[in-house]
Chain A
C-alpha cells in the first residue's frame, strides 16, 4: 500500500514538474533522423544518403564536393579538399589534383596528398594496415574508375583511371577523408577511431551513443570560413518510426525531423512548425524489363503507360509533397534537356496507343510488377502503386503485383529481370539516387552493367545509348559534358524507357525556432548557416 501511494505520488509529481523542464540550451539543434542507428562514424558512412548527409559531409570532407548553398538552382560540383583538378591533355586516364593547403584534421594533423593515398588504400588495398572492410563495403563501388594513385608532392596527387572517364570528379565526391594521425594515435584500431573520429569537416563529433544519439560541435578552425557552423551544438537522434518522429517533434524533444509522414503534416503546420522541401535528384519509377517477350519492348505500350497516370491526382496522397515526373530526372535538373515526348496525363492518347498495339480495356495487356511495401526512399509504395494499378486499368493495362519485402527487393534488383527469382515480373518499383551521371543515367541502361554484373535491371542494351554513355565518359569539358548528358536524358524520355511517375521533395519538418536553413537541391545539406532562436 505504501509503495502504491509512492507510485501515485510519482505520477502526481510527473504532472507538477512537467513544465519545470523547458527547452534545451540556446543554439542546440536536435534532429530526428529516419535511420535506425547512428551512421558509421569512421569516414565512409553507411545508412545511404542520410548517412552521408549527417555523418559524412558534416565531420568529413571529400576532394570534390557538392555546392549546397543555393535552394534555387541544381547543385553542382565545387572544389573541396582539392582546390583544382585537371585531366592530362595527352593521356586522358591521368588526373592531377592540387590539394588545399593549410587544412588540418580535428586532431591537428595536416591534410596532405599522402593522407589521400592512405585513405584510398583504406578502401582499395586489402593488404594495407588501414584497410577497413566496413568502409570498403561502402566506398569501393563508388570509385570504379580508379586504377592507381600516387602522391606527387605534399599537395599534389595523381590518379590514373582504368579507361578515360570524365565522371571521375563525381565519383570522388563520395570519398571522405579520415585522419591518418588519429588512426595511428589510437593504436591503428578503427573501432577506437569510431568512438573519437577525426576529419576535416565543419563539425566535430563530440560524443555518440550507438543507436541513440550523436552530438556534434563546430570546428572553429574550418578551412572554409563561410561554412563554420553558427550553432553551439547539433544532436542527431535516430527515430526510424515515422510516428515516433512526429510525436518527438510535436512534444518538443527534437527541433527538426526528416521525412514527416504526410498525414502528420497538417498537425505540424497547425502548431506552427515549418515544412521545408525542395526538388532533388530522386526518382520514383517502374524500371521496365526489356528481356525477350516483355510487353514493355513495345514503345507504344511504354508511352501509353506514361500517359495513363494522373500524377497531380497522386499528389493528394502525398500531401502535395512531390514533383510530378516530366522525365527521368527532375524537371529542374541541369541535365533535363528538351525531350519531345511530353510526359503528361492523357488517357485518350494512351488508349489510342494501346489500341494500335492491340490492347483495350476489354482486352487488356497483362503485366506483372514487382513492388515492396516499404523501403528507404520508396515514399508510400503501396498506395502509390495501387493508384498506378487503377490508372493503368482504366486504359487497358492490367497489373498483377508481386509484393516482396525491402531486403528481398534489393536482392531482386541486383538479380535482374531475367533471373528466375523475379518470377517473370516485368517491372520493378525501385527508387533511385540520381545525383551524378553514373548513378543518374549510366548505371541503369549501360550494356556492360546488365544484371547481375551491374544495376541494369531490365537488360536494356542499345548501341545508340551506349555511344552516348561513352561520350559522357570521354567529354572532359564540363559544359560540353552537360550537353551530352542532356542529350542522353532526352533519349531516356523520348523512348519512354521507364514508367516515370514522381520525384520526392525531401520534406523535413522544422520547429519555428530553426532559422537560416537553405534546402539545397541535393541529397546532402549544409547545416552551417543554421541558428536557433
Chain B
C-alpha cells in the first residue's frame, strides 16, 4: 500500500535525523549561538539570582540615591530609592522574562490545541473556534493587551492573563492553517480509513508535522511579548512597585533621566538587548528548522 510510504515520509522529517540536522545547522550559526548564550545567561542569572551574592534588590537608602554607574559597591549605580541597580536589573530579568515568555508558552499550548482541534475537526467546531478567534483578531495586539490589563488592573497575574489572551488568536490561526493543510493530505485520510481513532491520528501524524511551524511562529512572538509586557508596566498597568521589572524600572527612573541619563537608560537597554537576542534566535531557529513563513 502506498499509504505506508506516504506515512513514513513526512513523519521522518521531524524524526531523529531531522532534529540532529537542526542541531548541526544551529551549531554552524555563530550569531544564533551568541544570542542563545545571552538569553541562557539571562535566564540562569535570573534563576540563580539569590545565590549570586547580590545586594538586596528591595532595600534602599535615601542617602545613596541615584549613584552613577561605577560607584564602588554599586557597580551599576543605584536607582531612585537607592537600591542597587545591578541587583535590580538581574532580579528584574527574572520577572521581565517570566512575564515576557510565559504568555507565549501558555498561548502556544492553548492556541496550538485549539488550532489543531479546529483544523482537524473542521465543521462547526472549526467555525466556533475560528470565528471567536476572529473577534479577538479584530483588536490590534497592543490595544487588546492594554485594554484587558487596563480593565483588570495592575498585577503580575493580570498581565499574564491579558498577554496570554493576546497571543492565543495568532497561534490558533497558524495551528489551524497548518493542521488543515496536513489534514488534507492523502495519508491522513488513509490513516483514518484504516480505522485509527482521531486522537491517535492527531498524535502520530498531525502533531509531528504541525509542531515545528507553530513552534517557530511562537518563538517569533517572544520578543513582541516581552516588549509589550514591559510596556504595560511602563504604563503603570503591569507589574506593581516595588517589584523589580525592567518596564517598571524604566518608568520609575524616567524623571532621573535629567540627573543621571545613563543610569535611567539601563532598563531600556536590557529590554532592547533581550528582545534583539530573542528575535535573532527565532530567526536562527527558523532557518535551522527549514520553516518558511
Contact = CB atoms under 8 A, between A and B. Distances in A.
Nearest to A267: B258
A314 interface: yes
A454 interface: no
Interface stretch (B13-21, B221-229, B235-243, B278-286): B235-243
A246 B255 contact: yes
Contacts of A144: none
Contacts of A242: 254-255
Contact of B259 (A243, A267, A382, A403): A267
The listed residue with most A CB atoms (<10 A of its CB), out of B62, B154, B256, is B62
A383 B258 contact: no
A316 B65 contact: yes
Contacts of A40: none
A313 interface: yes
Interface in A276-317: 313-314, 316-317
Interface string B58-97: 0010110110000000000000110000000000000000
B241 A387 contact: no
Nearest to B253: A263
By secondary structure, the B interface counts as loop
Contact of A386 (B60, B236, B254, B255): B60
Interface in A378-405: 382-383, 386-387, 403, 405
B242 A263 contact: no
A471 interface: no
B154 A263 contact: no
A403 B63 CA distance: 25
B254 A243 contact: yes
Nearest to A250: B258
Contacts, number: 46
A316 B62 contact: yes
B154 A261 contact: no
A263 B241 contact: no
Contacts of A262: 255
A266 B241 CA distance: 25
Given A263-B80, A373-B240, A374-B236, A383 B60 contact: yes
A264 interface: yes
B60 to A, nearest CB: 7
A405 B242 CA distance: 14
B256 A405 contact: no
Contact of A405 (B62, B80, B154, B258): B154
Interface in A331-373: 373
Contacts of B60: 383, 386
B153 interface: yes
Contacts of B54: none
Nearest to B254: A243
Contacts of B256: 263
B257 interface: yes
B270 to A, nearest CB: 20
Interface in B43-63: 60, 62-63
Interface size class of B (residues with CB under 8 A): 10 to 19
A317 B62 contact: yes
A14 to B, nearest CB: 22
A16 to B, nearest CB: 26
A421 B259 CA distance: 41
Interface residues of A, number: 22
Contact of B258 (A246, A317, A382): A246
Contacts of A266: 258-259
Nearest to B257: A243
A222 B131 CA distance: 64
Interface string A258-277: 00011110110000000000
Contacts of A387: 62
Given A243-B257, A264-B255, A383-B81, A317 B240 contact: no
Given A243-B254, A382-B241, A314 B62 contact: yes
A246 B257 CA distance: 11
Given A246-B258, A405-B153, A263 B240 contact: no
A65 to B, nearest CB: 35
A77 B182 CA distance: 82
A33 B259 CA distance: 23
A355 B80 CA distance: 35
Contacts of B153: 405
B262 to A, nearest CB: 14
Contacts of A316: 62-63, 65
Contacts of A314: 62
A261 B258 CA distance: 11
Given A263-B80, A263-B255, A317 B241 contact: no
Given A316-B62, A383-B80, A387-B62, A261 B255 contact: yes
Nearest to B236: A374
B256 to A, nearest CB: 5
Contacts of A317: 62, 65, 81
B249 to A, nearest CB: 13
Interface string A240-254: 001100100010000
Contacts of B236: 374
Contacts of A243: 254-255, 257
Nearest to A266: B259
A403 B62 CA distance: 21
Nearest to A318: B62
Given A243-B257, A382-B241, A382-B242, 19 more contacts: A242-B255, A243-B254, A243-B255, A246-B258, A261-B255, A263-B66, A263-B255, A263-B259, A264-B258, A266-B259, A313-B62, A316-B62, A316-B63, A317-B62, A317-B81, A383-B80, A386-B81, A403-B240, A405-B154
3 smallest beta-carbon distances between A and B, as pairs: A267-B258, A261-B255, A263-B255
24 contacts: A242-B255, A243-B255, A246-B255, A250-B258, A261-B255, A262-B255, A264-B255, A264-B258, A266-B258, A266-B259, A267-B258, A314-B62, A316-B63, A316-B65, A317-B62, A317-B65, A317-B81, A373-B241, A374-B236, A382-B241, A383-B81, A387-B62, A405-B153, A405-B154
